[in-house]
Amino acid sequence: MRRSLILFFITASIALSAPQDELSYIKQKDEINALKKELTQFYNTKEAEYQKQKKELEQLLATIQKEKKETTELVKRNQEILKDIKGEVASKTAKIYNKMKPKVAAAILNQMMDEGKVEDVFDIILKLKEKNVTTLMKFLSVPNAATITEKLKNYHTK
């Protein structure tokens, strides 16, 4: 009988505790579902913000790339214009020196080279007619003629 009584109490306690465990389980499940909904909503909100910021950054990057391309093209055009201007000036200068007497032109070029404007003189000589350069070289000082000759030699090897 004692065994029956103990068995009865154990069975009763299991029966009474089962609904509470089940209620507790259901309550926890509901809390987890609510938490899951909150997290999903939070994630969706953050994902939407991220996508919006990503789109803004992509637009900004596209704008920057467009402006960079425009700037590069502008620089290239300006360099071409500058090159044309320098070429025009060199051409006009060459025309003037082609018409000058070689002795006078050599004196001017010697003076320019003595002032350190070797590149300017070289640019002028490149634009002159070959016949005039040969005559002009006779009247240049020996060091200046040597410098120009060396530059011409290096210019042709490039």
Which CATH number fits the domain 41-157, given the four candidates 1.10.220, 1.10.3470, 2.40.128, 1.10.10?
1.10.220
3-state secondary structure 65-77: HHHHHHHHHHHHH
Nearest to residue 94, comparing CAs of 143, 130, 69, 53? Answer: 130
Q: Which residue has tokens 């030699």? A: 153
Average pLDDT, the chain: 81
Go through 24-52 and write b for each residue having 16 or more CB atoms within 10 A of its CB, e for each that does not: eeeeeeeeeeeeeeeeeeeeeeeeeeeee
Confidence check: pLDDT of 156 > 80: no
Alpha helices in the chain (DSSP H): 2-99, 102-114, 118-127, 130-139, 142-157
Token digits for 3?
Answer: 């065994």
Say which residue, 140 or 59, is predicted with more confidence.
Answer: 59
Confidence check: pLDDT of 19 > 60: no
C-alpha–C-alpha distance, residues 48 and 107, integer Å = 78
Say which residue, 86 or 136, is predicted with more confidence.
Answer: 136
The predicted pLDDT at position 63 comes to: 95
The predicted pLDDT at position 33 comes to: 87
Q: Where are the domains of the chain?
A: 41-157
**Distances from the Cα of 109 to the Cα of 52, 85, 130, 134, 137, angstroms:** 67, 21, 16, 14, 10
Confidence check: pLDDT of 67 > 90: yes
The pLDDT tens digits of the residues spanning 100-123 come to 888 888 888 888 888 888 888 888
The model's confidence at residue 81, banded by pLDDT at 50, 70 and 90, is: confident
Which of 16-25, 34-43, 90-99, 103-112 shows the lowest mean pLDDT across its residues?
A: 16-25
